[in-house]
Structure 1
Amino acid sequence: MNKVIYLEADEEIINIVDRLKNTKDDKIALVVPAGAILLSSAVNLRLLMDESKNIGKRISIVTTDPSGRNIASQIGFTVYENLSDAREIKEKDIEERERIPTYQRNSEKRIEEIEEKEESGDVFAYTDLDDDFEEENTEKPPKHQKEFYISEKSEPKKPQPKSQLLYTGSNIETSKKIKGIIYSPRFWIFSIIGFIITLFLLVFIFPKATVYLNVTANEETLNIGFNLSTNNALSDTPGKATLSANWETKDQESSVSEKATGKKNIGQKAKGTVTAFNRSGKTVTIASGTEFLTGDNKRYVITQSISVPGAVVSDFGELVPGKATGPIEASEGGSVFNIGPSRFYIPALSEIHGNLVYGQSFEDIGGGDDKEAVVVSKEDIENAKKKAQAEIENKLNEELGMKGDKIFIKGLSTLEITGEELSKKEGEEAEEFSMKLKGKFSFLTFDKNDFDKMFEDSIKINISNEKKLVGTGYRNVQWEVSKFDKDKKTGEVLAKVTILTATSINEDFLRSKIVTLNIQELRAVLSKYPEVELDRVRFFPPLLLSSIPSNEKNVNIKVDYVE
């Protein structure tokens, strides 16, 4: 390299180009410090390359910046890490050009050996050899070494005399044998037979093709109606098969907890005295706990049994009712039961005596006060019962569907409550109570194998020959119970079966249509079937074939069903 220019790190591209123009040498090495502006952008380096070509300068870049060297080499510059590397590489190139190629030394050595054999008389015969002959063991010169050698020669190469190839007696004898075999009729017969066999293998045996097809599959719903019976009785519904069923029972129990929501006043009860009047002619006994109702339906109970004599007629001809007095108190606490003198109706005696027996208080009934408490209400008990029953049904629902070889369908069962236990009774004070419910389920089941056989028979009837069932059976089933008679233990069911179907591919027919076709022709044939798409074709041997073999046995068709 003739000229070395050292650049500053912040030197601009315009200044660099001006310095190149002012330099007379054509070959210039630019020493660029690491991190320089020139190396930070591929645009700057590309501009430098274009300008150097325009002014006829051959530029190389010397820098220790690895990323800068990488970018510069990609742009097309010759790149060195330092000036000593650049000089060393150049010296090696000069030495390589001056080195005598190996193939020249081998050729000269071979000529000397031939001359020695001629002088010793070991040569039996010789013949002329073409200029381009190369000895078997002669090392061929690399292409770049040959070019360097020729370019460095100062004198034109003199034409070389033709070399001489040695033939010994054994070589001539071998040559005669080979010629005898080649001109033998038997050799040509076996050659023709071998050619025919090879051609047969290449055309009919070795070529193979595998055609991969994608066929669209669609879901369909197949409705299958059938009857169930425990005694195998014939169905009254024509056109429906009857499957044998079993009547099974299962005991279940459930315990639930429920919060009490009832309200009750548990304050002191109002108390007082009541007089019972009897206008009938017979004595009436009023038992303890008998209710007395006021006109506004406030309930009181008598706390002691009393006997009320029948009515009598006075000397003046008037009816004098019999009477008896006893203690009375409100049915529950609360100040609302504090009342003044009142008349009472006795519901327990109304059916027999009507209004002839009644009660009357002549003094205030009082002493009641208010204190509210949470108690178990009737609605709380009903809700707990429904919740417990739902849990029992949920446990049974876990048995629904196909369990092994048995099928149980919801709607073919009945539930009987066999026991009920409450931790608190209605009206009792409690924040929470529990209920334990016992039940017995009775239900119909049938065999899965019987249903599968019926499904297969239905497929044969309902699926056309142009379609086929994809997979081994149905994907899922939705059951609908039309009728259920728990007494006769029979049922009528509709099964909505989801299946996957696709166009049926006649592989033998398709094979006969696609032999000898290339890929484009094969796509044209398959375009007549909208649900069939060519995925790929694999040939064997892969690099020698581009069309389907003519032998149908060597054509394999693989179908993949896609939704």
Structure 2
Amino acid sequence: MRKVVYIEIDEEVTAIYDRVKRAKQKDIFLVVPRKAILFQSVVNLRILKSKLEKDNKKLHLVTTDRIGIHLAQQADIPVYHNIEVEEIKAPDQDTPKMRIEPIQARRNEILKDIPKRVMEKKITIGELIREYRDSKKKSKKGGSTELAGVYNYVRPNRRFLGFILAISLVLFLIITYIALPGATVYVKPKFDNIEYTVNITLADKRKNQTLLSRNEPHVVASEEIMTVTKQTKIFNTTSKLFDGVNAQGFIAIINNSDDEWPLKKETRFQTDDGLIFRIKEGVFVPPKTVNEAGVEVPGTYTAAVEADPFDIYDHPIGERGNIGPGKFIIPGLSEFNRKLLWGESSGSMEGGITRYQQVVQKEDIEAAKKQIEDNLTLMAREDLSTHIDEMNRLNHTNLVLLDDSRYLKTKLQELRISDDLEGSLRDKFEIFAQIEAKGIAYDFDQLFSILKKELKTRTHPDMQIRDESIQPESVSFEAVSEDEVLGQVKITATIKGIQEYVIDSSLQAGLRFSNKLKERIVGLTVEEAENYVGNLPEVDAVEIKLWPIWLSRIPRIADNIEVKLMEN
């Protein structure tokens, strides 16, 4: 016996179960209308099936809803398009005797028709023909005429056979035209860039065992890594001790202002090549005057000058100071005042001799110390990364160094310099230094997993993340703060990816899209269908192919339309 129950379109799973749980029948047939709430999720069907199986009942579905059929197959529930109910015959009207029978609830209870297997072998047309031919051969060989009476062969009417063949051919062509044509719609879904930022805490696993044991969602294990880096480096001496002779001569200092201009001793005068000459005594340059003809005459003063040992580029001057007549500027004046006061020489400067020695000065040592510490810091970063790579290889982990100079801490452990280095005459000198470096390494796989999970929860309901778009290179972060006591570093990590509309009909969103597309394009021309599909918000590009190739319209049967993802 089976029980047939008709379900309302808005009936919930719990209400359905309450209706059928007290039934005595083992087979429960639910007649479900299209677009019923029961078909909103495969979970509903699995819950109902599980509850009925606990009551030793088997669930069957009767529906024409495509989504319902698809979900029932996923839940492994038998599904039928229709169900036959046995006919209830009314009593004969002419029977004078009143027949009183108990009323049976035939709407919800009918006998189950169990299909029976036919054990007799079916005889095909080919077997009949072979049997006839074999019997004919036997009759010829044996001369018996008994079979002639059994098989009364009548020659078929050729016109009738031709008519049957023509009708069959027409029916075949009609069926072929309606049922066989197919269309494949290749769709390239629209995509969009998506990124999401998550606040992450890097917790030192030695100081935060309790916190890490709670599996907090945004906490990543980290640990402090330490290395010792050392280097011996040779530096070139840059300081020079001038041991030559400075060139000397005379220049005329010209004052084109209305006021007397005082100049201090050692005032600089510079050539276009950067050579420096200084006056030996302080002077007062007279102002300009007006002669008898009413012409302004600049004031002049001739002063002795001597070249500096080095020019403005710190190169020795020496014999380079033996220059001819030229013009000099006073670099200590503004651009405006340089037009009022300058120097000119009418003769040559003489006596310059180039000779110098390289000497290690304090400035050389300080510059070398800074340079070797900077080099060791860079080397320490590489040493930390190398040490972490070795740990990953041995422990099968994926630790990554926190790449932020604020959290790379170095300490100078040793610096060796010769006691007699400063003031010594030498071209090169050597310095040895050793530093201790500490950095923070974190579990990148754990961080990457958290970011991917968070990103996938932020997608549009009808879209999915393109897996190949999420790569470790798409992750960036910025360190925010550090708590050295707790051993925690706060960072903001950002991950980027690409989300695209779901086309795969095996997913709920893709099935909705596929059904909507098929319903709208049946019977349209290829151009009309491509224009419609191309304007859908989910579609970036579309291509439609028909079979057979001579067709010009989309089949009118939606089941003959297949939606596929366009390959890049």
* Greater gyration radius: 1
Range into which the TM-score falls when normalised by the shorter chain: 0.3 to 0.5
State TM-score, norm by structure 2.
0.42
